[in-house]
Amino acid sequence: MPLPVVGTKKTRAIRPHRKFEGHTWKVEDVIHLPGGQRIMTCSSDGSLRIWNLKSGEQIGSDWRDGESGVKAIALSPDGKQVASGNDDGAVKLWDIDTGKVITKWTGHTNHVKSVRWNRDGRRVLSGSNDGSARVWDVKRGETILAITGGLSVYSAIYSPDETMITSGGWYPEKENIKIFDAKTGKLVANLKGHTSWVYCLAWIANATTLISGSADSSIRTWNTTTWQQINVLTGHTNSVYDIAISPSGRILASASFDNIARLWNLENGHPIASPLQHAQWVREMFVIALSPDGRKVVSGGFDGTLRLWNINTGTVIAE
């Protein structure tokens, strides 16, 4: 699929007229569910919700377990469970069919901002505002590795081969991206470049490229063989809070507190098409997710609404 390009004329941000409404506070995370027709969101209002992408309607009732806000969600490799990170420091596993909590893990002492499954579904990696990343054994519900030393960990992810863990956040020495051995927790590398805390990370599968988004408004790409910076993507005017990569590894989507979502060509670091703009009265954009087919992007804002965009045209999809 050829990438859409920016024309010679000045591009204009498109203001959408289609919204997915229901959450009563900010949308913290969004994931696509198998089949390409549904998405799941979580929110500071304490709920998880499933949505029909075609109709824009919520499917079923809210998923709730207490009043704690839900900061992050991740679908298990077999599609049967969802892991969530919560304001109260808990990591929870939910049954996808019943919408009920299966188990709850405790150990973090502050908000859990990031959750990731490993490929075989036996481990969950979490990152927290308590400054630690933890690896959990799913069957036993125990922490099998704890990586500490940060002030806040906003994102923790595995490398594609799962031999390394990348942690992004806020560290005392301001080296805000760290690479650790996934078995021992030993520090492998510090990545220097961002001038403020790192909110989000993504590793391109089958490639030696790591991508980071920061409160310094920049997106940076890194060579994971040499650990040197490759490129700096600029355009956002406020913190870059979330990023997502298309299945092809060619397109990057980013969401920022400047109310703008942007699409980038990772082959040259240039913007693609027009910026995707939430309404002016939306205070902050929080989350972004690309569909498995690479054709649609979902963005979520501080107002609790979602918007679905066509990635080729930069327009809101309205069936």
In the prediction, which pLDDT does 48 show? 96
Q: Is residue 40 part of a domain?
A: yes
pLDDT less than 50: residues of the chain: 1-18, 280-286, 314, 316-319
Q: Is residue 114 part of a domain?
A: no
Q: How many residues does the chain have?
A: 319
Query: Exposed, middle or buried: residue 78 (CB in 10 Å: 0-12, 13-18, 19+)?
Result: exposed
Q: Is residue 315 part of a domain?
A: yes
Q: Is residue 193 part of a domain?
A: no
Which ranges of the chain would DSSP assign to H, the alpha helix?
A: none
In the prediction, which pLDDT does 246 show? 84
Q: Is residue 225 part of a domain?
A: no
Q: Is residue 109 part of a domain?
A: no
Beta strands 240-245; 209-214: pairing state = unpaired
In the prediction, which pLDDT does 278 show? 58
- Read off the tokens for 140: 């036993």
215-273: pLDDT as tens digits: 999 999 999 999 999 999 999 999 999 898 888 888 888 888 888 888 898 988 888 86
CB 171 within 8 A of CB 178: yes
CB contact set of 35 (below 8 Å; sequence gap of 6+): none
In the prediction, which pLDDT does 262 show? 86
Q: Is residue 310 part of a domain?
A: yes
In the prediction, which pLDDT does 285 show? 45
Q: What is the CATH number of the domain that holds 304?
A: 2.130.10.10
Q: Is residue 116 part of a domain?
A: no
The whole domain housing 284 covers 13-61+235-319
Q: For residue 283, which amino acid is it?
A: R
Domain count, the chain: 1
- Read off the tokens for 192: 């220097």
Total-model pTM: 0.87
